[in-house]
Structure 1
Amino acid sequence: MAKKLAKAVDDYLVWMIDVGYASGTIENYENALNHFQKFITHRKIEWSDIFTHNTLTAFQIYSGLSHASMAVKGVSSYLYDRKIISSPIKKPLERLPEIYEDYLHYYEKTRQVHRSSLIQTRNVLSALNDYLAKQDIDLSAIKIEQIDSFLSEFNARFMPATCHHNRSFLRGFLRYLYFHRKILKRNLAALIVGAPMFAQAQPPKFLRSHEVKALFAGLSTGSCKELRTSAMVHLGYTLGLRPKEICLIRLNDISFAKREISLFDRKSANPIKLPLPEITIKAIAAYIVGCRPESNHRALFLTFNAPAKPVNAVTVSHDITVAIQKINPLSSAYWLRHTYAQNLLESGASIFEVKQMMGHDNVQSTKRYIHIHTKLMLKELFDETL
């Protein structure tokens, strides 16, 4: 067992060198893993029990090394990817009552959910379950006053932005109980409104024509990151894609011969094929040929730090926002999506066509853009103040 673990650690460290990890990181990991091997040998832990959460927790207490967790988890992921062990180290999740687990499964399957959002949602639902048990409240008979009391207690320790997310996670669960499971007699989700929600009552913001021209004129392609950002901006503007949709694009989704892209992972869970404008094809090709790192990953956009891996939605949103804030300091990545919607409306597309192209769940979301378009026309035709 000791020899098998030693070989696994050596192979992992060689792999870290090959993919370009920083020498300081490799040195720290090697030190931690040497301590880990001694710990396993001393405790006489069997191979099947080495890469488990309980063993990792015991080792952290034993060693007192702050970076030990990352090193051991790194080895476990490396071995799992090569099918040497059956599962990487994962913190065991507390199983909730069936209705909560059913919703989490539904949420994961029907929405574009990042793992962190799924964990946060589970935390909110776990706290709700504990609160209802403590107050002896049946979930099917819950009232808005009790939900408000729970949120006041639960959100007390969080910053406003986190409170906003917690309310959003809870609204999703309540909608599920009302529309899909018919457990609640009333849609309580619509009644959960906090102060940050008032900002969403305003219409989406978008770029004016002169700002669009300035944006594309100012896009630089002098570095790999700038080439990647340029491709992201083109996808956001010409196709109206969300940052999450952009980060999920795979190489196989793009047909350069047919000049089209297939989008399978949409928020509305409705796949669609869209034509790729020539300017966007050129931006994507420039990034792939010039700077995309070599990798087994099939994601279009990868990180540049070794080991290369798919970028996440936060990175896409940040890079696009940085680019367009050079033109409008108040803008964000979603302004490109909103601008795309305006272009559709101005071209004469119906609200249902816009809904399909935007990947909206319902027409109500799309109707928000009608308000902006009307005001835009007043500005353009009659020079009235927006």
Structure 2
Amino acid sequence: MLDRQIQDYLEWMNNAGYAPWTMAQHSQILNRLLDFVVLNSIPWERTFARDTLQAFKDHVQVKYAGFVLRGFMRYLHQNGIICLPPGALPEGRGRSKLQRAQLPRLYEEYLQFYTQTRQVGKQQIYRVQGTLSALNDYLQNQGMELKDLDVLHMDAFLAERNRNFAPETRINQRSVLRGFLRYLLMRPGL
């Protein structure tokens, strides 16, 4: 379970626009945490216990390990995966996960449509925005517009985008794109 949560967290960081260097640091520490948990046969319910985390920090001896662990635990808590008592983690000063860059008009219209027609939480809307943002970036890098998109380009985009993601994340990415393409087909004049 921990490995899947780490992959989802790294995907969230990517969608939130974290720098590759920051993501690499988080990936390194969290994968060392996974190795530590497996090596010491620590059950899931003890993984985030204060004594387990302190033993891990003592083991890795990396100054920023506590920062990475707090960010990961905050993500897990906000997504209802672990329970933490109020005030257990500082709120932090980083960018809110709900802040996002503005996309071109058509993408923003789809996000508004998606929000109004689906009963989904803010986290799912944020994931949809991340996928659409990545598609927009891909098209810009290829010098293409949405009207030029075909199956081969979509396959190339998904291969590039999903290369490091867990299977569940890949399924989610494809679902988002199917919904967006369906929306584009419904719009007159596109």
TM-score (norm 1): 0.26
Divergent runs of 4+, >6 A: none
Q: Give the partner amino acid of 1:90.
A: S
- Alignment CA distance shift 1:181-1:151 (3 Å): farther
1:133 and 2:140 matched = yes
1:160-239 pair list within 5 angstroms: 160-183=167-190
Partner of 2:96: 90
Instruction: Return the alpha-carbon distance in structure 1 between the equivalents of residues 173 and 179 of structure 2.
Output: 10
Aligned amino acid, residue 91 of structure 2 = V
Which position in structure 2 is the counterpart of 1:112?
Answer: 119
Q: What displacement does 1:182 show?
A: 4.2
Deviation at 1:106? 0.8
Gap change, CA 1:138 and 1:114, over 3 Å in 2: same
Q: How far, CA to CA, are the matches of 1:175 and 1:134 in structure 2?
A: 23
Instruction: Give CA-to-partner distance per residue, 1:300-327, whole Å, 9 cap, x none.
Output: xxxxxxxxxxxxxxxxxxxxxxxxxxxx
| CA distance in 2 between partners of 1:157 and 1:66 (Å) | 21
How far apart are the structure 1 equivalents of 2:118 and 2:162? 24
Supply the AA of the counterpart residue of 2:124: S
**Alpha-carbon distance in structure 1 between the residues aligned to 2:91 and 2:100:** 20
Compute the RMSD of aligned alpha carbons: 2.7
Aligned length in residues: 108
1:174 positional shift:
0.5
Ranges in structure 1 where 5+ consecutive residues have no aligned partner:
1-60, 77-88, 184-386
Instruction: After TM superposition, give the deviation of residue 65 of structure 1 in Å.
Output: 8.6
Amino acid at match of 1:71: P
**1:1-386 superposed matches below 5 A:** 67=70, 70-72=89-91, 90-91=96-97, 92-183=99-190
SS at match of 1:145: helix
Percent identity between the aligned chains?
Answer: 37
Amino acid at match of 2:150: K
User: Quick one: distance in 2 between partners of 1:109 and 1:119?
Assistant: 14
Q: Which has the higher contact order (CA 8 A, sep 6+)?
A: 2
Amino acid at match of 1:158: F
- Give 1:101 shift: 1.0
CA distance in 2, matches of 1:148, 1:64: 37
Q: Which has the larger radius of gyration?
A: 1
TM superposition shift of 1:95: 1.1
Q: Tell me, what secondary structure is at the counterpart of 2:96?
A: coil
| C-alpha deviation, 1:66, in angstroms | 5.2
Spell out, residue by residue over 1:283-302, the C-alpha distance to the aligned partner (whole angstroms, 9 max, x if none). xxxxxxxxxxxxxxxxxxxx
Provide Cα deviations, 1:12-37, integer angstroms capped at 9, x if missing partner: xxxxxxxxxxxxxxxxxxxxxxxxxx
